[in-house]
Amino acid sequence: MKPHELIGRWPVLRQVAEGDTLGRGKAVQSAKTEQLRPRTDEAQHVVQSICPYCAVGCGQLVYVRDGKVDQIEGDPDSPISRGRLCPKGAASKNLVTSPSREYKVKYRRPHGTEWEELELDEAMEMIADRVIETRTATWQKQGDSGAATERTMGIAMLGGATLDNEENYLIKKLAMGLGVVQVENQARI
Amino acid sequence: MGTSFGRGGATTFQQDLANSDAILIMGSNMAENHPVGFQWVMEARLKGATVMHVDPRFTRTSAMANLHVPIRAGSDIAFLGGIVNYILENERWLDEYVKHFTNAPVIIDERFQDTEDLDGFFSGFDPDKRIYDTSTWHYAGMPVQETAGERAKGGTKGEQSGHGAQAGHLAHGEPPEEDETLQHPRCVFQLLKKHYRRYTPEMVSQICGCTKEQFLEVAETLCENSGRERTSAIVYSVGWTQHTVGVQYIRTAAIIQLLLGNIGRPGGGIMALRGHASIQGSTDLATLYNVLPGYLPMPHAEKDTDLASYLDNHAGTTGWWGHFEAYFISQLKSFWGANSTEDNDFCFDYLPKIDGDHSTYQTAMDMIDRKVRGFFLFGENPAVGSANSRLQRFGLASLDWLVVRDFVEIESASFWKDAPELETGELKTEEIGTEVFFVPAASHVEKDGSFTNTQRLVQWHFQALEPEGDCRSDLWFVYHLGRKIREKLAGSNDPRDRPILDLTWQYATSGPLEEPSADQVLREINGIGPDGKALGTYADLKPDGSTACGCWIYCGIYGDEENKAARKKPGGEQTWVASNWAWAWPLNRRILYNRASADSKGRPWSERKKYVWWDGRKKKWVGEDVPDFQEDKPPTFVPTDDAKAEDAIAGDHPFILQADGRGWLFAAAGLMDGPLPTHYEPHESPFDNPLYSQRANPTRQLSPRAENPYNPAPSDAYPYVFSTYRLTEHHTAGGMSRTVPYLAELQPEFFCEVSPGLAKERGLEHGGWATIITSRTAIEARVLVTERMKPIVVDGRPVHQVGVPYHWGTRGLTKGDSGNDLFPGALDPIVHTQEVRAASCDIQPGRRPRGKALRELVESYPSTVEASA
Amino acid sequence: MKTADGVETYGGEAQPRLGFFTDTSVCIGCKACEVACKEWNLVPEDGLAWTGHSYDNTGELNANTWRHVAFVEQQAPDPIKRGKNDFRWLMESDVCKHCTHAGCLDVCPTGAIFRTEFGTVVIQDDVCNGCGYCITACPFGVITKRELGGDGGMHKCTLCYDRLQDGMEPACAKACPTDSIQFGPLDELVERARQRCGDLVEAGVSEARLYLADENDGIGGAGAFFLLLDEPEVYGLPPQPVVPTKNLRTIWGAAAVAAGALAVGVAAAFLGGDE
């Protein structure tokens, strides 16, 4: 900062020059304060989203800055929520950036006492193998009555109420292809 | 609601609550669990509507209500049945609505006998199998087909979804015998009168523990705010569905709303409030064992042996289920594409078959019995969230392998190192053979996709950024898992591998993570015509294999090749109905059965309640919403005797999914536990049933075993009633709130709520600790003594209630015992929903014992593994 | 409502005075305001202590809590309810009052606390040295020192001063599901509040009253005022708050003149120190 600018910023001079002799308003604003803008101004982009908690279906605006979620707040365009959120919806950024979130696959071998590391692709391979093995081992051509069932009762799936519709559909479709009938979600819980 | 109206979804939308003149909230704590939706209730209140809350506890909803009536948990049908009786005794029904829009005039089979005749049973009960033969409940002179959901043959207990679109099916045409005067002793209207005549204000007061005056105030308020000029809404939530008679609670509300003429009209309806972002969507798209997407039934091994028998068993003749075959064949085409042809029954044989109860509780028991060996969890935490979660943990510990997809390391992933049963010595880490894969999930901001909210509205959320590390969407996980399995099985000649290898599984991926396109999947759900273009309506689906459609009720969501779920036209730039924000199933209709917003001749019931009406000049239905009726069918339309599907529905019958187009006061088909809702005591109730000798629902589903014992009922050892519930500050099992700092600090510890009277009786100290005991387990909680927990006086005897928020578990920023550990698995016979709203318990001061001493305490209390009726 | 002390320093740049009207009669106690505030203002989570005081585990306003929802369980008839009843549950979202005569602003020796062009009172964390004079000068106990993360400065509600720069609504008011927290030009809010209060009294809620909406009270009225359903003490609010610096205004005026006289000498030191 050049000397004349520094002098210009000196509070007492500003108090006099800006008519704020008591230093209660404009004159005591720091440079940071003068530059203050909502941080959402610097968002790279903002997308319209929907709250992931309950089924009210509130609209959310997700602001991204420096490749991170910088703010999530209500979407005023939503005719259901009109920009409002409950404490859970308002905590959505806290949810998606929570220190409790896991970012790596964790593996526990049978009878193991600790988590181990595992590459994602290896985990996917292993899971695919488990599905095939268990499916083969437990394939049931007929039920107790002798009627054809063509299924496995050795594999089950639970979940879906917090998932997207498209995900639910694909889970069901894959289960039908695999002959897995025990597909359930939170609707019954 | 499916059996009453034809579709299981909420009949109205949240914003419409602002148009109500009275709102009855029951089985729901809306202000706490749906705060943003509650703005519309507050708006109605500010406009002068009366808001009533009938609930055992005084909650934040009660605080906002004009009337709070505390009733004993599990006594709701008695209360609602009392309202039905009040309407009938005082001639408060909307006559034209009841005569034209409901099955009140229909005459029922002469063999039918009511609970009034048989002391708590309907005709047809088989005491050995504990099921009903429902054939005597049908319309006289006509065999009535079961709903499209499931038929009650072969001993399989009721298999319907609580949220779905099933319908009652008549074999053909209009009911043969009717009495327009409603006087015939076997007409539905008279049967209804008879069934509820003993549900008097005095009886309600005796059973529910409220005063007669409180009950009358609610009944009268509903009546005086219903009719041509006024409408009332009923709001419910899991407080109703999570009971052994849950479906019947909702049925009773449906009867009230049909009698008062409140369905299909603005400010009226039944608002079902779901608890999860996409719980409606997950049932629509069928992550449920007994249905396929769009509530088409899963084929049953013994009955549905081939395509012809399946269609014969399930396809409707009249109403919109008349096109069942087109919906089903189109779905097979979307699963198996070109491999699905007329010659191979469109791959019907590829579908696995069900032959019993394969719901999640049965699955947990089958894990313990080593039948189920591999398990996938997608964003669900049964080690905390399910009733008797202890049993769930034993199940997880018995698996060969477990895949957990979640944001955080939930208790269901970590049970092998921190389950409470390790502390008691019942499980040992080294002895648990379960191989666990925790594969972290992407959050809602890290993927594209749609949620279906509580009002059937499908809303798209756009991806904001890529997920970090190994986090992936479930779309990614399922697609790539399927891809890998198909690659590994490629070349197999085993016939059982044909269904997986022939599946259409070609999804475009993009980006460095090879994320499949959610948009493409939604388009597949919508369906395509012979020209490969997206269809605009399910009316265009064909049974000949020329169309494909993943879920018929979602058909139209991608019409004109536009993702209509992603429509974001601001609410402020539209009418209050906001039809251009997202898309609601079916066909973007916001109030279902809205033809009923006009009278039998198609005129608005009143200027004040105008919504959809017949425009005689334009010769079509017009108004605020998409008409839920054939647009050009006049109100005077009378079907021919041989008419099929929608052509068989008369112009004055608004319930177009029902075979007779009417709202069902009497459920002639589709329910396993009775055509009319009847008050039964909860399974572990401390009371006898003052109405009938039959105490509890005779068809309730019990699964007694060592891991799932019951409290003997009634029993002096368990003198209190407890219920579990949610708090605003947390979310279900806590995986999305106990781990979030800003939420954890708002409700940072597991507590229970008791009245000053109970505190005194048991020596509980405010701020201290209490141990709550059932035959399943004992848990400890901090004690909050509050006047909000009032004992309810039943039969002159005060019943103390213990309130238990159920969000806690062994992990997270705030830890605590899990309230749902206390519950048994006692289930609703129709939808297998757990009863976690009312059961008996004991409560003692101080912390619970540790280690083996915990089991010793529990075992010192009585328990039973008998399934007593 | 009168102009807040200090706004005159903005001359023509002064904006209409903005504030909060918190209507407790429609508050559902959901705490969305608490969370939305923390999310926007990056206020830290500050402890997982269960209080046992109804559903309030926040306790009070302080450096790490700028919105606080009070819960009052009362053995008293609820006039909103029909018929006989003897219990009510009051909820109220409390916040910094942004007083017309603000004690914190009066005593701040560093110029960290200032009056904005919108008439609100804001602490600048880059200026505050943590001396703590403002703590005792606030008749509502709103301000404390943030010890978390080694910050050491004083913090309180800014009425989202940054958001106001872009015409955005403060985070708490935007989130509030039932519009219990209303934001806008203070004059409009006061008018609306009087109407609402009158309606309630007419409807039989005789104890309904406005709190801090009177410009003749001990703080000259507030930029954040309330509709209460009982005495302020019931909610833990002071019944007749008075700015402790009420009689010090003239003294501060004299101090400012003295400071001006020292200007030249101090200027030299100021420049020198920086080179």
Structure confidence by residue, pLDDT tens digits, B121-157: 999 999 998 899 988 998 998 765 544 433 333 222 2
Question: pLDDT confidence of B696, banded at 50, 70, 90?
Answer: confident
For chain A, report the end-to-end CA distance as a whole number of angstroms. 65
Say whether both A19 and A46 belong to one domain: no
Are A29 and A43 in a shared domain? Answer: no
Alpha-carbon Rg of chain A, whole angstroms? 29
Q: Are strands B50-54 and B67-69 parallel, antiparallel or unpaired?
A: parallel
The secondary structure of residue B339, as a DSSP letter, is: G
Same-domain pairing of C253 and C200:
no
DSSP assignments along B221-289, one per residue: HHHHT-SSS--EEEEE-HHHHSSTTHHHHHHHHHHHHHHTT-TTSTT-SEEE--SSTTHHHHHHTT-ST
**Is A17 within the bounds of a domain?**
yes
Q: Best residue in C3, C35, C117, C126 to probe A by mutation, most A CBs within 10 Å?
A: C35
Q: What is the DSSP letter of B468?
A: P
CA atoms in the 13 A half-sphere facing the CB of B822: 33
Question: Using one digit for the tens of pLDDT, what is the confidence trace for C10-68?
Answer: 999 999 999 999 999 999 999 999 999 999 999 999 999 999 999 999 999 999 999 99
pLDDT category of residue C246 using cuts at 50, 70 and 90: confident
Cβ of C266 and A12 within 8 Å? Answer: yes
Residue A43 belongs to some domain of the structure: yes
Question: DSSP states of B121-180 as a string?
Answer: --TTEETTTTEE-GGGGSBTTS-EEPPSS----TT------TTS----EESSSS-S-B-T
C1 falls within a domain? no
Residue A183's SS3 state is: strand
- What DSSP assignment string belongs to B684-746? T-SS--SS-S--B-TT-EE--BTTB-B--SS-TTS-EEEEEE--TTS-TTSTTTTTSHHHHTT
Structure tokens at B103: 């099955």
The answer to whether residue A133 is domain-embedded is yes
Q: Do B745 and C31 touch (CB under 8 A)?
A: no
- Give me the pLDDT at residue C150, please: 77
List all residues 6 or more positions away from B868 whose beta carbon is below 8 Å from its beta carbon: none
Task: State which of A96, A119, A136 marks the end of a domain.
Answer: A96
Please tell me if residue B766 touches chain C, with a CB cutoff of 8 Å.
yes
Nearest to A41 among C36, C40, C166 (CB): C166
Residue C67 belongs to a domain:
yes
Q: Which two tokens stand for residue C273?
A: 């120190």
C-beta separation of A166 from B450 below 8 A: yes
Amino acid occupying residue B178: E
Interchain proximity A84–C161, CB inside 8 Å: no
Phi, psi of A110 (to 5 degrees): -55, 135
Ranking B211-225, B232-246, B447-461, B848-862 by mean pLDDT, the lowest is B232-246
A127–chain C nearest CA distance, Å: 38
Q: Is the pLDDT of residue C124 over 60?
A: yes
Chains that touch A (3 or more CB pairs under 8 A): B, C
The answer to whether the CB atoms of C28 and B64 lie below 8 A apart is yes
**What pLDDT was estimated at residue C104?**
96
Is pLDDT larger for residue C147 or for residue C157?
C157
What is the per-residue pLDDT for B564?
98
Q: Residue B35 and residue C32: Cβ atoms within 8 Å? A: yes
- Asked if pLDDT for residue B814 goes beyond 80, the answer is yes
Residue B687 CA to residue B681 CA, distance in Å, equals: 7
Name the strand (E) or helix (H) holding B188. Answer: helix B188-196
Question: In the prediction, which pLDDT does B388 show?
Answer: 82
Question: Mean pLDDT, to the nearest integer, of C61-90?
Answer: 94
Given A86, A126, A169, which is nearest B550 (Cβ)? A169
Structural domain contains residue A101: no
User: CB-based contact (8 Å) between A49 and chain B?
Assistant: yes
Cα–Cα distance, B145 to B148 (Å, whole number) = 9
Q: Has residue C219 got a pLDDT over 60?
A: yes
Q: Which of B695, B686, B820 is nearest to B750 (CA)?
A: B820
Per DSSP bridges, beta strands C67-74 and C88-95 are: antiparallel
Q: Structural domain of residue A92, as residue ranges?
A: 39-96
Specify whether C197 is located in the same domain as C271. no
Give per-residue pLDDT as tens, B313-360: 988 888 888 999 999 999 999 999 999 999 999 999 999 999 988 988
**Average pLDDT of the residues in B600-610:** 98
Is residue C161 a contact partner of residue C125, using CB atoms and an 8 Å limit?
Answer: no
Within an 8 Å CB–CB cutoff, is residue A155 touching chain C? no
pLDDT band for position C268 (cuts 50, 70, 90) = very low
B80 touches B801 (CB < 8 A): no
Identity of residue B573: E
| Contact A121/B at CB under 8 A | no
Q: Tell me, yes or no, if A44 comes closer than 8 A to chain B by beta carbon.
A: no
Contact call for residues B284 and B457 (beta carbons, < 8 A): no
Stretch 6-25 of chain A: residues touching chain B, C-beta under 8 Å: none
Cα B682 to chain centroid, rounded: 18
Contact C153, C62 (CB under 8 A): no
Chain B residues touching A142 at Cβ < 8 A: 301
On whether both A84 and A150 belong to a single domain, the answer is no
Contact (CB<8Å) C87/B50: no
Identify which of C54, C57, C87 has the shortest CB distance to residue B746: C57
Residue B257: both structure tokens together = 């709303």
Beta bridge partners of B781: B770
Residue of A48, A56, A71, A119 to mutate for B, most B C-beta atoms under 10 A: A56
Partners of C52 on chain B (C-beta within 8 Å) are: 751, 766-767, 782-784
Do C252 and C200 lie in one domain? The reply is no
- Nearest Cα of chain C lies from the Cα of A66 at a distance, in angstroms, of 17
Cα distances (angstroms) measured from residue A154 to each of A86, A127, B456: 41, 14, 34
Yes or no, beta carbons of A115 and B438 under 8 Å apart? yes
* C53 and C11 share one domain: yes
The amino acid at B363? T
Given its phi and psi angles, is residue B491 left (phi above 0), alpha (psi -120 to 50 degrees) or beta? left
In chain B, % helix, strand, coil (3-state, to 5) comes to 30, 15, 55
Q: Are residues C259 and C238 in the same domain?
A: no
Residue C174 lies in a domain: yes
Please, what sign has the CA dihedral across residues B540, B544, B548, B550?
positive
C146 and C228 housed in the same domain: yes
Q: Report the 10 Å Cβ neighbour count for B573.
A: 11
Q: Report the alpha-carbon distance of residue B294 to residue B280 in Å, rounded.
A: 11
Residue A120 counted as domain residue: yes
Residues C113 and C228 in one domain: yes
Residues in contact with B135: Cβ distance below 8 Å, sequence separation at least 6, in sequence order: B109, B124
**Cα–Cα distance, B43 to B51 (Å, whole number):** 11
CB nearest to C46's CB, from B729, B745, B749: B745
Chain pair A-B, CB pairs under 8 angstroms: 501
Closest approach of chain A CAs to the CA of C211, in angstroms? 25
Q: What is the pLDDT of residue A21?
A: 72
Q: Are residues A128 and A174 in the same domain?
A: yes
Residue A159 touches chain C, beta carbons under 8 Å: no
Q: Answer yes or no: is C105 within a domain.
A: yes
User: Cβ contacts (< 8 Å) between B482 and chain A: which residues?
Assistant: 170, 174, 177
Beta-sheet pairing, A148-159 with A180-184: parallel
Q: Are residues C183 and C234 in the same domain?
A: yes
- Is there a single domain that holds both residue C255 and residue C216? no
Say yes or no for a CB contact (<8 Å) between C30 and B65: no
Write the CA distances from C103 to A28, B88, C121, integer angstroms. 17, 66, 10
Instruction: List own/partner pairs for B213-218 with CB under 8 A and 24 or more apart.
Output: B213/C83, B214/B67, B214/B69, B214/C83, B215/B69, B215/B79, B215/B82, B216/B86, B217/B67, B217/B69, B217/C82, B217/C83, B218/B24, B218/B52, B218/B54, B218/B67, B218/B69, B218/B79, B218/B83
The answer, yes or no, to whether residue B66 has pLDDT greater than 80, is: yes
Q: Mean of the pLDDT values across residues A138-146? A: 92
Question: Is A102 inside any structural domain?
Answer: no
pLDDT of residue C151: 85
Q: Any CB–CB contact under 8 A between B64 and chain C?
A: yes
Q: CA of A39: which chain C residue's CA is closest?
A: C162
Instruction: Provide the H-helix boundaries in B720-816.
Output: 741-744, 756-762
User: Is C262 part of a structural domain of the chain?
Assistant: yes
Check if CATH label 3.50.80.10 holds for domain B701-859: no
Interface test with B, best of A65, A155, A164 (most B CBs within 10 A): A164
The mean per-residue pLDDT over the stretch B716-734 comes to 91
Note whether C99 and C190 are same-domain residues. yes
H/E element holding B797? Answer: strand B797-799
pLDDT of residue B156: 28
Q: What pLDDT is stored for residue B316 in this prediction?
A: 82
Residue at A111 is within a domain: yes
Which pLDDT score, from 0 to 100, does residue C83 have? 81
Give the pLDDT score at B642. Answer: 86
B121 reaches C (C-beta below 8 A): no
Alpha-carbon torsion, ordered B591, B592, B594, B595, to 10 deg: 170
C11, C98: one domain: yes
Q: Is residue C117 part of a domain?
A: yes
Any residues with CB less than 8 A from the CB of B760 and at least 6 apart, and which? none
Reported confidence tier of residue B393, pLDDT bands at 50, 70, 90: very high
Given a cut of 80, whether residue B297 has pLDDT beyond it is: yes
> Residue B766 and residue C179: Cβ atoms within 8 Å?
no
Contact A58, A67 (CB under 8 A): no
How high does pLDDT run on average in chain C?
Answer: 90
Specify whether C108 is located in the same domain as C170. yes
- For A96-136, the pLDDT digits (tens) are 999 999 999 999 999 999 999 999 999 999 999 999 999 99
Q: Which segment of B354-368, B515-529, B551-565, C87-101 scores lowest on mean pLDDT?
A: B354-368
**B581 pLDDT more than 90:** yes
The CA distance from C127 to the nearest CA of chain A, in Å, is: 7
Q: Where are the domains of chain B?
A: 279-354+513-565, 701-859
| Reported ipTM | 0.94
**Whole-angstrom distance, CA of residue B354 vs CA of residue B298:** 7
Other Cβ atoms closer than 10 A to A65: 16
In this prediction the pTM is 0.94
Residues of A in contact with C137 (CB under 8 A): none
**Confidence band, pLDDT 50/70/90 cuts, at residue B386:** confident
Span C126-130, average pLDDT: 95
CATH of the domain at C213: 3.30.70.20
Instruction: Write down the pLDDT at residue B588.
Output: 98
Q: Provide the Cα torsion B790, B793, B798, B804; round to 10°.
A: -40
Which pLDDT score is estimated for B129?
Answer: 87
Count the domains in chain C: 2
Give the ranges where chain A is alpha helix by DSSP (H): 3-9, 11-17, 31-34, 87-90, 92-96, 120-137, 165-178
Q: What per-residue confidence (pLDDT) applies to C263?
A: 46
User: Which residue segment(s) compose the domain that C265 sits in?
Assistant: 247-275
Tell which wins on pLDDT, B825 or B421: B421
B457 sits in which H/E element: strand B457-461
